[in-house]
Amino acid sequence: MTFKSALEDFRETTLEAISGCLRRLDYLSGLRDRTRREQYEHWGLARIHGDFQSQRALAEAHQSLVSEVLSTPIPKLLEDAQRSSAVAGIPPTAYLERLRNRGAALLPATPGAGSTRHLNSVLNALSGLVKNRKPDAIRRAS
């Protein structure tokens, strides 16, 4: 029997089941305690690995996901937003608006320098692209 760290367990069990980096970021930021923004609530992870290890793993996974979103090319994020919104059952414009309205709650308690502004600009760019995209536009061949 191999033992996994709390971070490995969370990534391989929970995050692996969620497609798209925007959906994963949305999910993970939703685990943050409403009253104590620096704390996360994940009953199963805390039960298995203890509160300290689960808090540490969730904070690290959150930071990693923000970095992943911020380093993903806009065209890929646009596809991600469209898939994520379909899974959520809402139009892409509404999905991105929901993310934009979450603001700082999408970020970990200690985001990297400039992460807040960078994430806001990425979400604003995606929103603008989705709103102005022509439904019958022909995609370029890759």
**Domain definitions of the chain by residue range:** 6-132
Cα–Cα dist 111/70, whole Å = 12
Angle of CA points 44, 22, 34, to nearest 5°: 50
Cα–Cα dist 16/19, whole Å = 7
pTM across the whole model: 0.84
Tokens read off for 54: 């689960």
As averages over each run of 10 residues, the pLDDT of the chain (142 residues) reads 82 92 93 76 92 94 93 95 93 94 85 86 94 65 53
Angle of CA points 76, 119, 134, to nearest 5°: 45
